[in-house]
Amino acid sequence: MAHSRTKGRYYKDNPRAVKARDAKRMYVGGVEISKYNPLHTPGRYASWQDAWNNNELDSKTTTGHIYAIGNPAWPEWIKIGKAVDALDRLNGYQTSSPYRDYFLIHSKYVENRSEAESIAHETLINMGFKNKGEWFKVSSTTAINIIDNTITISTQQDLFDEDSS
């Protein structure tokens, strides 16, 4: 028996209900984001940077990725950075290149992306690698090792700080 208010449609197919439900959803790069994600903001966004600016992202959550990105135009240089989502950040770089030739060398999910990035940068600088901002003249292998070992370094620093107080 069809209900008179739904005009024979199942209630979830009601155009008003669908529109109201869709208005509460968040999509980043075509992927639906859970409403339980702390960064959830209804709307459709091409990237996380479109949904939030970096200061807002940092105040909402500390978790995310540290990553190494390269470009064949500068084969000796690798960018070591932080992002909520490394692939989303890579897509942001692609928009600035007519060849869309940036590539993700490595990324690691961390609890505090700002701290991990700072430690990775300090480690590379202390090892004597030339840098220009977040771009380092370093091999892919070394960049991967630094990123993978950043968590260990961070934990060791925390333990040291506790002992010294």
Q: For tokens 């950043």, what's the residue?
A: 150
The SS3 of residue 92 is helix
Q: For tokens 């070394």, what's the residue?
A: 142
pLDDT single digits (tens) 115-149:
999 999 999 999 999 999 999 999 999 999 999 99
* Angle at the Cα of 140 from the Cα atoms of 66 and 80, rounded to 5 degrees: 30
pTM for the full model?
0.69
The SS3 of residue 78 is strand
Q: Has residue 161 got a pLDDT over 50?
A: yes
Q: Where are the domains of the chain?
A: 1-45, 62-164
